[in-house]
Every structure is written in C-alpha cells, then in structure tokens.
Amino acid sequence: PTTTAQQLPDLLPGLDWIADPLRVGRLSQDFAWFSPVLKRDLAGKRGDVAVRPRTEDEIRQVVAACAKAQIPLTVRGSGTGNYGQSTPLHGGVILDLSGYNGFGWVRGGVGRAQAGIRLSDFDAQAKPLGQELRWLPSTYRSATLGGLFGGGFGGAGSINHGPLAAPGNVLAVRAMTVEPEPQVIELRGPEAMLLHHTYGTNGIVLELEVALTPAVAWTECIVSFTEFDAALEFADRFGAAPGLEKKEVCFLAAPIPAYFTSLAEHLPAGCHAVMLLVAPHSEDGMRDMAARYGGTVSYRKTADEVEKSHKSLLEYTWNHTTLHALKVDKTLTYIQSGFNPATRLEQVKALEKALGGEVMMHLEFLRTKEGAFNCSGLQLIRYSTEERLNQIMQIYRDHGVQINNPHVYIVEDGKQNNLDPAVVSTKQRFDPQGLLNPGKLRSWVPPVAKAA
Ligand code: FAD
C-alpha cells in the first residue's frame, strides 16, 4: 500500500484532522508519567496524525481508509489512562472519539450513549431521570464511557456494584470492525465483555448500554483519626455495613493527607483520613460509627454544596490521590494491589508494618467481581530504583496480595497473564489485520507471522 497516515487528511478532507506535531504529540500521551518506568519505556512513542470524527459515517471513512492502507489506528477517549493505553507504539492515526458523544436514553435502570460521552455528562443527563452511573473513576469530569470500558476498572460505586467487569454492569456494546468494509456488530452480555480492558485492540466501541442505579444526593465527608488501626477498622466496618448507604470509602494513612494542600484546614496534622460519600439518611449512622472508633468528622458538604463549589472529594480518591501527591513530590510513584477478602485487614496491617515509611497505604473499599467485600490498594511509593519497586511488589505478593502492575503497557502484563482465550478470537473477528493499537495484545499473533 502506498497511502501513508500523513496523506489521509487530503484523501478525506471533510473530517476534523489534527496534523500539528505538538498537538498530535499531546494526543499521543496519557498519564503514564505516574510511572518512571513507563515514562522511560514510552518516551517518543506517538501517532503521525489525529482525527476527531463526529458521526459513525466519519468513523467508518477513517477506518476503511486505514484498513485499505494498513495504517495503525489507536482509539482515544480523553487520554486519562495510566498505562500508555492510548499511546501508539507504531505511529499511525489517533482516532479521538471525544466528539462522538451523544447521549442515547435512560429506560428504567438502563442507559445507553455513544462511547465518547464524558462520564460527568452522562450523569448530568441521567440524574434528572432518577438514575446515575454505577461506577465513577475519579477522572469522571473528563474521562469517556468508551475509555472507561476500554482501559478502566471502576471507581466510586464499585463498593456497591463491583468493577465494570462484574456480570450485569455492562449490558451491550455496539462496535466496528477494522476492515476495508467495516462492519458494525452489537454484542450483548459476556460477549460484550471480550472488548473490556483490552486497550482498544479488540474493536472500536461506538455505543455502550449499561445498568444504572437510582440517583442519590450524596453527602461528602472526611473522618479523621489519630490511630492507623482505628481509621482502617472504621473504613472497613462502615464500608461493609449493609444498612448504611454509601458510594465511596477511601482510606488514606498518614502522611498522605498532608499532600492535599487545598484541604489542609480539614486535615489535622499527622492524621489518617477516611474520605466517604454517604446517603443523607445514612449520615447519622455513619457518625455514630465514626465516634465509636474515635474519629472526627472534619469536613462535610451536602450534594448542593458540592455542586455549587465545583469541587468533589472524589477528585482526591482513587488515582487522584497519586496525582495530588505527585504535585507536591515528583519522586513518588504507586502500585495497585488486590487484597484477600478473608484476611484483608491482617494483610494491610502486616504490610504497613513491613514497609511503612517507604510505602504509604491508600485503600479503596469495594466489592469484587464475585461480590465479596474487600479493599484494593493504590499505595504511594517513595521511588528509588526499578529494582526496589519490583522488590516491593514481590513483598506484596509474598503476603498473598495480588499485584496489578501499573508499570507495564501490555494488556496481559497488567492481568498477570490471565487472558481469556476468547479475547484473542474476538481480536481476530474485529481486527483481522492487527491494526488496532498494535503491540499491546501479546497473545494475538498476526496471520503472516503465523504462516511464517
Ligand atoms: P483513554 O485513556 O482515552 O483510553 C483508555 C483505553 O481505552 C485506551 O487503550 C483506548 O485505546 C481505549 N479506548 C478508548 N475509547 C475507546 C473506544 N471507544 N473503543 C475501544 N477502545 C477505546 N480508572 C479507574 O478505573 N478508576 C479510577 O478511579 C481512576 N482514577 C484515575 C485517576 C487519575 C488521576 C488518572 C490519571 C487515571 C485514573 N483512572 C481510573 C484511569 C482512567 O482515568 C480511567 O480508566 C478512564 O475511564 C479512562 O477514560 P478515557 O476516556 O480517558 O480513556
């Protein structure tokens, strides 16, 4: 094929192309810089040109042209991923879907929208209809629904509904194949999940249908503590209490709260903090429990106050904790971990004892895919060397904790190589030439290489 990515704007002049190298460079990046390892490994990786289609027909035109000329295509939502997920390893076109963002409908407890819709926009449309999304990553203000499905896990709300991957959360996807004559296919139920968390390698998601939950006017609180164990136990007990309705419980051991300079007046020096979103009718129950563990409610805002202030505590939780800490200390990084539901608190306490000072404990409480109450960690690390970082992750594994390594960019490496073989056959169906985000899905072997 003779057509190059740089020639596509002339070939399809009606589309919104971005060829300016600086802007293309920016659209080639995400938040992989949280990891010194990824920052090094992905340096200089970029697309050749970007395009922002607004309609399915415009998407089809780009996809058909790339398939005919065998030009790599990397899908991008808002580029808030953490592992260079939307960074092309082999150049080509960046397909920015943020302009393909129509809200479809809410029917009962189900909603549907185009992939490029921002999660905050989805909720703004769903809430007046009495429903809200089941999970909000802390990047909800800018992140897209397609990006959450393609590269995310869950977020606030996962304490009630588990991760996106829990059966029943995502009901269907409508996706486009990458072929000279692209097909549009609707997949429902478990089949739809074969496109989840595959970094845009398994088809271009056009629309998503997701289960919702009744909207609540969440009150946001910080409960601060002087004792690590008391804060941890409160977070755990409140998180698990079935009668107390909540959307978020985040535990931040000292000295993490000290990184939140804009909340300093609400965070006593040296405190351990629990940040939470609670339903108004459950606030008294939460306060009783906090008092029993010696906690003080040092911050409180009603849903109205949150809306007026344009500042939500959610933007201090999940990986926003890491972002705020990095603003203060650029030498930090983080790890992601999943505890054992049966022994979670013993594991947390043992690891705090073993690595406290070097590893700062940040926990998010949630339900697993199977429904067990648990916590996962986004621990902050005082980074010294890659070798020490790997040792720390090994110490976690030696304590029986699962590590989801955030310092790798290949799909399988982030999943401890537990890839459902059906993901690979889905790749074959949706991207037979291997043009989607090439190099990110190791298990798929290109047909030519296979023949050789
Ligand atoms: P992008 O980064 O643009 O894309 C992510 C991946 O999905 C890429 O591989 C891309 O190719 C693919 N993709 C995008 N759109 C499509 C599509 N339409 N079809 C097929 N593939 C597609 N994640 C969480 O799960 N929970 C959190 O709480 C959370 N907190 C975060 C906090 C910070 C500060 C940061 C930097 C990241 C956080 N993340 C979190 C990661 C990320 O923000 C979310 O996963 C987010 O939903 C990604 O959305 P996006 O639109 O930015 O996707």
What digits encode the pLDDT tens for the residues 362-417? 999 999 999 999 999 999 999 999 999 999 999 999 999 999 999 999 999 987 77
Query: What pLDDT shows up at residue 416?
Result: 73
Question: What is the rounded distance in angstroms from the CA atom of residue 137 to the CA atom of residue 143?
Answer: 8
pLDDT over threshold 90, residue 445: no
- For the chain, give the percent of residues with pLDDT over 70: 99
DSSP E strands in 253-348: the ranges are 272-278, 296-301, 332-334, 337-338
Question: What is the rounded distance in angstroms from the CA atom of residue 328 to the CA atom of residue 247?
Answer: 28
Strand 49-51 relative to strand 93-96, pairing: parallel
From the alpha carbon of 136, which atom of ligand 1 is closest? 28
pLDDT over threshold 80, residue 90: yes
pLDDT over threshold 60, residue 451: no
Taken as a whole, the chain contains a residue count of 452
Partners of 49 in beta bridges: 93
Measured in Å, residue 83 CA sits from the centre of ligand 1 at: 9
Query: What pLDDT shows up at residue 153?
Result: 97
Measured in Å, residue 229 CA sits from the centre of ligand 1 at: 33
Q: ipTM score here?
A: 0.99
Query: What pLDDT shows up at residue 166?
Result: 98
Query: What pLDDT shows up at residue 449?
Result: 59
- Let me know: does 85 contact 95? Beta carbons within 8 Å: no
User: Which stretches of 47-98 are DSSP H helices?
Assistant: 56-69
- Let me know: does 402 contact 337? Beta carbons within 8 Å: yes
pLDDT over threshold 80, residue 304: yes
What digits encode the pLDDT tens for the residues 5-52? 999 999 999 999 999 999 999 999 999 999 999 999 999 999 999 999
Taking the domain 100-215, which CATH number applies? 3.30.465.10
Give the Cα-Cα-Cα angle 396, 402, 403 (nearest 5 degrees): 75
CATH 3.40.462.40, the chain: domain bounds: 219-403
User: Which stretches of 310-405 are DSSP H helices?
Assistant: 318-328, 344-355, 386-398
Measured in Å, residue 283 CA sits from the centre of ligand 1 at: 32
Mutate to test the pocket of ligand 1, among 76, 95, 275 (most ligand atoms within 8 A of CB): 76
From the alpha carbon of 198, which atom of ligand 1 is closest? 9
* pLDDT level of residue 208 (50, 70, 90 thresholds): very high
Question: What is the rounded distance in angstroms from the CA atom of residue 150 to the CA atom of residue 164?
Answer: 11
What digits encode the pLDDT tens for the residues 114-168? 999 999 999 999 999 999 999 999 999 999 999 999 999 999 999 999 999 999 9
What digits encode the pLDDT tens for the residues 41-89? 999 999 999 999 999 999 999 999 999 999 999 999 999 999 999 999 9
Mean pLDDT score, 228-244 = 98
- Let me know: does 42 contact 84? Beta carbons within 8 Å: yes
Query: What pLDDT shows up at residue 1?
Result: 56
**Who lines ligand 1 at CB under 6 A?**
30-31, 74-82, 85-86, 97, 115, 137-139, 143-144, 146-148, 150-155, 199-200, 204-205, 318-320, 323, 437
Closest CA to 148 of 176, 116, 177: 116
**One-letter amino acid of 183:** Q
Within 10 angstroms of residue 105's Cβ, the number of other Cβ atoms is 12
Q: Which residue has the tokens 């029943």?
A: 168
Mean pLDDT score, 196-203 = 97
Question: What is the rounded distance in angstroms from the CA atom of residue 437 to the CA atom of residue 91?
Answer: 9
CATH 3.30.43.10, the chain: domain bounds: 5-98
* pLDDT level of residue 448 (50, 70, 90 thresholds): low
**One-letter amino acid of 59:** I
Measured in Å, residue 82 CA sits from the centre of ligand 1 at: 7
Please name the CATH architecture into which domain 5-98 falls: 2-Layer Sandwich (3.30)
CATH 3.30.465.10, the chain: domain bounds: 100-215
From the alpha carbon of 150, which atom of ligand 1 is closest? 7
**Three-state secondary-structure class, residue 215:** coil
Query: What pLDDT shows up at residue 286?
Result: 98
pLDDT over threshold 60, residue 450: no
Mutate to test the pocket of ligand 1, among 74, 75, 89, 114 (most ligand atoms within 8 A of CB): 75
Query: What pLDDT shows up at residue 418?
Result: 80
**Residue 83 backbone zone (phi > 0: left; psi -120 to 50: alpha; other: beta):** alpha
- Let me know: does 169 contact 218? Beta carbons within 8 Å: no
Taking the domain 219-403, which CATH number applies? 3.40.462.40
**Strand order, beta sheet including 17-18:** 17-18, 49-51, 93-96, 73-76
